[in-house]
Amino acid sequence: MRALKFLFLEDSPTDLELIQRELKKGGVEYIPLHAQDREEYIKAIVEEKPDFIFSDFSLPNFDGLSALSLAKEKCPATPFIFVSGTYGEDAAIQTLTRGATDYVLKDRLVKLVPALKRAIKEMEEHNALRRAEAEKYEIEEQLRQSQKVEAMGFLAGAMAHEINNPIMAIIDYAQMISKGEMDPAKIQKISSKIKQEGERISEMVKDLLRFARQEKGVYEPVSVFNLIKKTRAITEQRLKMSLIQMDLRIDPELPFVLCKEGQILQVLLNLTNNAIDALNQRYPAFNEDKRISINAKREEIAGKAWVRITIEDLGSGIPPEVGKSIFNTFFTTKGAEKGTGLGLSVSLGIVKEHGGFLSFESVPNEYTRFFLDLPAV
């Protein structure tokens, strides 16, 4: 373990010696740094990056509260302990409310080492919490990416089937041209059709790649209208193969939402894919009721603007006993080849991070409605 750097902001050599002697008596090993004024202090905290700061409360042409403010600005995680001879109750309260870790009176230096040990323990707990949060975030990101790959599998399967049609058309057109029996006008017309089919394939692949790309993690104002349009475009091939009609009822003038676009798109795709599965389960073939409705409207909650997106299907529905567990990680009613049970749990985590809510209501063999509520910009 590396030696800790202790910065002492102290103008009295005698007091500095007493403080350091007390630390040595307590068996504390450290690298000492010393500052007597503002310039030396700023240079030390910027260049040396101390692990702890011990500061007098009153100094010539400088003061401890100013030193504390500078520390909170330039090295906010560094514990700051006041060691002072003039320290009333009001001053103690003021320093602690401004973020000081602790305070010790110079005529009671016996309390210095216990105060330091408390600060070290708090720092270690804080660092452990930060590491745990980082690990939790990494696991959540892995789960999100796993679920995204799962969703891509469904979409890519449908898209591969749909792409085959324009590819076959392009091959047929190319064979017709290669025979060399057409007049220039006919060749021009067929070339135009080849271009159209190629652009159609390109757009399908681009939609899938947009969804697949790694999220940069930037919150930006995003149009809900455009989000739902992208959801429809990406799922269009699977909807066609399943003979499902999608109805959109969205106000183009809806307020924007502040979000990570790729993540909210992932939520919408999860909900849409689940709706497709529910409809296919209830209606294996074509049916007039085999449809998904997406509705988006502005709402006001507690005086603030929200956007509610409702995704409704008339599929198999969710039984009450299943509804209690659908947001649990790895819970699924589908076979192993159809899902991992990550979709709704990941979606709920994403929505919570965005300050929103994800809920549902369902009647078995009648309908299911999922409600995605997000705060508006």
Each residue of 52-64: pLDDT tens digit?
999 999 888 899 9
How does DSSP assign 160-216, residue by residue?
HHHHHHHHHHHHHHHHHHHTT-S-HHHHHHHHHHHHHHHHHHHHHHHHHHHHHSPP-
Q: Which CATH number fits domain 4-107: 3.40.50.2300, 2.40.50.140, 3.40.190.10, 2.60.120.10?
A: 3.40.50.2300
Give me 111's structure tokens. Answer: 């309390």
Rounded to an integer, what distance in angstroms lies between the CA atom of residue 320 and that of residue 364? 9
- Mean pLDDT, the chain, rounded, equals 85
Do 217-376 and 4-107 have the same topology in CATH? no
Rounded to an integer, what distance in angstroms lies between the CA atom of residue 234 and that of residue 241? 13
Cα–Cα distance list, 147 to 135, 201, 337 (Å): 18, 25, 14
pTM for this model (two decimals):
0.54
Q: Say which amino acid occupies 124.
A: E
Give me 156's structure tokens. Answer: 């890519």
What angle, 0 to 180 degrees and rounded to 10, lies between the N-to-C axes of helices 224-241 and 184-212?
A: 110
Instruction: State which fold the 217-376 domain adopts.
Output: Heat Shock Protein 90 (3.30.565)
Domain ranges for the chain: 4-107, 217-376
Higher pLDDT, 354 or 211: 354
Q: What is the pLDDT of residue 68?
A: 95
pLDDT in tens, 302-360: 889 999 999 999 999 999 988 888 887 665 666 544 554 567 888 888 899 899 999 99
Q: What is the pLDDT of residue 238?
A: 85
Asked whether the predicted pLDDT for residue 11 surpasses 90, the reply is: yes
Among 122, 124, 127, 120, which residue's Cα sits nearest to residue 28? 120
CA neighbours within 13 Å on the CB side: how many for 323?
A: 14
- Please tell me which of 119-123, 167-171, 182-186, 359-363 the model is most confident about, judged by mean pLDDT: 359-363
Asked whether the predicted pLDDT for residue 42 surpasses 50, the reply is: yes
